[in-house]
Each structure stands twice: as C-alpha cells, then as structure tokens.
C-alpha cells in the first residue's frame, strides 16, 4: 500500500526548500531546515531539529528533542532516541583568535553517518566525524567518539563495544568459537577479525 502525503503539524517549522517523503509525520515544534531531505514513512518527534542539507532515509524515527546537525546522513530504518545530539564541529569556538565572532565561513562542518537499521539510545551524544554501522545499537547516555562496527552494542563514556546485536535488537548468544545466534529469530552470525557478519543460509 502506497503511503499518503506527509502530515506536518501546524506548529512545526518546515522550510519550503525541504523535501518531506510520503507518509512522514512531523510533530509539534519540530524544525526541518532548508535542503533537508526526509524519506517516506518517517516520524519526526516533538521539538526535534533537522539541520540544512541533512539526509534521512525511509522509515526512520527521530524522537522528541533529538538534534541532527548538518551534514549528517542517516540511512533507512534508523532509530534516533529522545534528546540524542549529533555534533558537527571538531574544534567548536564562538570566536576567532582575534575575538571576532565566528561565522559559518570560518569552520567546516563534519558529518555523522548512521547506516541502515542502527539504533541510538536516549540522550546519547555522537561526536562527528564518525560512522555508526548497520544494525548497531548505542546505549542510552553513551558518548560515541569513534566508528561503531555493524551489529555492535556499544555503551559508556566513551562508548565501547560490550557485545553484538542482531537485526531484531536482541543481544546475540555465542554458538561456537566464532558463531553467534539471535535468540528471537534464530538468525546466525559469524565473527571474523573483530567484525560480525550475517551468514546467508
């Protein structure tokens, strides 16, 4: 079934230059800036912010008061929890060394990239430039300062891998020396050189 037109609550501030996909819902007080592209069937929560030129894929959930600053790229099926923050400045300053107010021309924005199916828990901070891998999970309140592998479960400050998760979000159970299995779906995975891969049966 084809999703209907987007629904934008009257109190949301959505630029005329933004592209909002079919079936997407933009809740109260959210702001979507110019040239942002939001895919089909997304949910943009109350008070969330999507910066200029940010790209969100299809069926993403951006929860209340999450802040996604440009030039972030978010692939399909990503969950971004309440009050999550994506940064975009490696060396943030309000002023230049001579005291002059810094403008957009005085620094270069760097990106957070979130791959398909990943989830980022409430109040996590993701410090650009980093990539969060496919189907990875970032625990609530974590601070991500380096790339997160596919299927990794990371927690803490700074975030470190404490396990593996499958597509269903369940912690994987070890099933042999380098093999893992999802307790919910039965899907199997294999670890090699510190990375996890799905087995295709």
- Higher confidence at residue 194 or residue 121? 121
Closest CA to 45 of 57, 58, 55, 60: 60
Report the C-alpha gap between 163 and 148 in whole angstroms.
12
Contact assessment for residue 114 and residue 154, using Cβ atoms and an 8 Å cutoff: no
Length of the chain: 201
Q: Is the pLDDT of residue 134 over 70?
A: yes
Q: Is the pLDDT of residue 105 over 90?
A: no
What 3 state SS string does 44-93 have?
A: ECCCCEECCCCEECCCCEECCCCEECCCCEECCCCEECCCCEECCCCCCC
Report the C-alpha gap between 158 and 143 in whole angstroms.
5
pLDDT at 44: 98
Q: Residue 95: beta bridge partners?
A: 101
Specify the 3-state DSSP secondary structure of 38: strand
pLDDT at 201: 55
| Predicted model pTM | 0.95
Q: Is the pLDDT of residue 124 over 60?
A: yes
Q: What's the rounded mean pLDDT across residues 153-178?
A: 95
152 vs 10, 22, 72, 119, 200, CA distance in Å?
Answer: 39, 31, 20, 11, 19
pLDDT digits (tens, 9 = 90+) for 52-100: 999 999 999 999 999 999 999 999 999 999 999 999 999 999 999 999 9
Report the C-alpha gap between 36 and 163 in whole angstroms.
34
């Amino acid at each position: 079934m084809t999703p209907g037109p987007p629904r934008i609550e009257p109190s949301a501030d959505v630029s005329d230059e933004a592209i909002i996909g079919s079936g997407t819902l933009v809740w109260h007080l959210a702001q979507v800036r110019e040239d942002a592209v939001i895919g089909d069937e997304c949910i943009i929560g109350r008070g969330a912010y999507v910066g200029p030129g940010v790209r969100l894929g299809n069926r993403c959930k951006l929860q209340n008061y999450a802040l996604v600053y440009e030039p972030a790229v978010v692939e399909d099926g990503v969950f971004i929890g309440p009050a999550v923050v994506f940064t975009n400045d490696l060396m943030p300053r309000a002023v230049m060394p001579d005291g002059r107010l810094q403008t957009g021309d005085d620094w270069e924005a760097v990106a957070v990239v979130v791959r398909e199916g990943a989830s980022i828990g409430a109040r996590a901070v993701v410090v650009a430039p980093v990539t969060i891998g496919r189907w990875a999970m970032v625990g609530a309140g974590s601070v991500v300062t380096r790339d997160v592998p596919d299927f990794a479960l990371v927690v803490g400050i700074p975030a470190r891998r404490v396990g593996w998760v499958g597509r269903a979000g369940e912690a994987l159970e070890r099933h042999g020396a380098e093999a893992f299995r999802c307790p919910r779906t039965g899907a199997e995975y294999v670890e090699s050189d510190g990375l996890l891969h799905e087995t295709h049966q």
